[in-house]
Amino acid sequence: MDIARHTEETEYEMMLNHLIFRSRQEGFSIQEVEDEFHHLLVYQGHGWVGRSETKEAEIQGHVYAYQIFLKRYKEGTLPVNET
C-alpha cells in the first residue's frame, strides 16, 4: 500500500471515530458538523499549488469521514455507545 492510500485510510478512521465521539457529548450540534464539512470542502477545493499528495490524501480521508458520519447520523445508524 502506498503512503497516500495509507494516510487516507488512517485519517478517515480517526476522523470518523472523533465525530462519533463528539456526537455523544453534551451540547453536540449537527449544524456545527455540517458547517465544518462545508468549510472542509472549500479548503479541499483550493488545491493550493505545492500541496503534497500526502496532504491531499489526509484531506480526502476527512471528507469521506464527514460524509459517512452525516449519512449515518441522519439515518440513525451510528454505532451505539457501549460505555
| 82 in any annotated domain | no
| 81 in any annotated domain | no
Q: For residue range 5-57, list pLDDT tens digits in order.
A: 999 999 999 999 999 999 999 999 999 999 999 999 999 988 767 789 999 99
Say yes or no to pLDDT of 80 above 90: no
| 25 in any annotated domain | yes
Burial 18-57 (b: 16+ CB within 10 A, else e): ebbeebeeeeeeeeebeeebeebeeeeeeeeeeeeeeebb
**Total count of domains within the chain:** 1
| 31 in any annotated domain | yes
Host domain of residue 38: 3-75
| 50 in any annotated domain | yes
Enumerate residues 6+ apart whose C-beta is below 8 A from 52: none
Q: What is the pLDDT of residue 46?
A: 84
